[in-house]
Amino acid sequence: MPMTRKGIIITVGTVVIMGVALGVGIGFGVRNQHGSTGSLTANPSANPPGTRGIVGDLTYYAPGLGACGLYNTANDNIAAISHITYDKFANGPNPNTNPLCGRQIRASRNGESVVVTVVDRCEGCKANDIDLSPAAFNQLAEAAEGRVKVTWEWM
């Protein structure tokens, strides 16, 4: 049975409204993920407390899919930060949109330093501890040491 003119208008109107709603929703999500959270470096008041000279334990882990939603390998210069710090800056239920994701840290020990990118959350870390990929850890300590003291800062 053919649609009436009224039925066609209602169907077209519904499709247009749904398309606009979808476009607005996608635009809002992209803006929230990449725009409104911004860089913490660009907004110093949002920087984590104690941004320089933070002393904690340094360990290493086997990367994979991190809390920021990225896959990484043992050869990447990456870090997992303490769940305490990571969760403090959460901006909703999706951990991939945490504004600490993608931030850089300079970790230093015994006159050596390495710059790493935050891509993960460390459940076993205390507030000032960081967990690095093996490649990054090996620039500061021997793997056999396992856990050492480190000084680090947000870049």
pLDDT at 24 over 70: no
| pTM, rounded to two decimals | 0.69
Least confident stretch, 4-13, 43-52, 70-79, 85-94: 43-52
Highest mean pLDDT among 37-46, 56-65, 85-94: 56-65
Higher per-residue pLDDT: 30 or 119:
119
Question: Smallest Cα–Cα separation from 129: which of 75, 74, 85, 93?
Answer: 85
Band of the pLDDT at 114, cuts 50, 70, 90?
very high
Residue 42 pLDDT exceeds 70: no
142-154 pLDDT, tens per residue?
999 999 999 999 9
pLDDT at 125: 96
Can you give the three-state secondary structure of the chain, one letter per residue?
A: CCCCHHHHHHHHHHHHHHHHHHHHHHHHHHHHHHHHCCCCCCCHHHCCCCCCCEEEEEEECCCCECCCCCECCCCCCEEEEEHHHHHHCCCCCCHHHCCCCCCEEEEEECCEEEEEEEEEEECCCCCCCEEECHHHHCCCCCHHHCCEEEEEEEC
**15 band by pLDDT with thresholds 50, 70 and 90:** low
**What pLDDT score does 35 carry?**
36
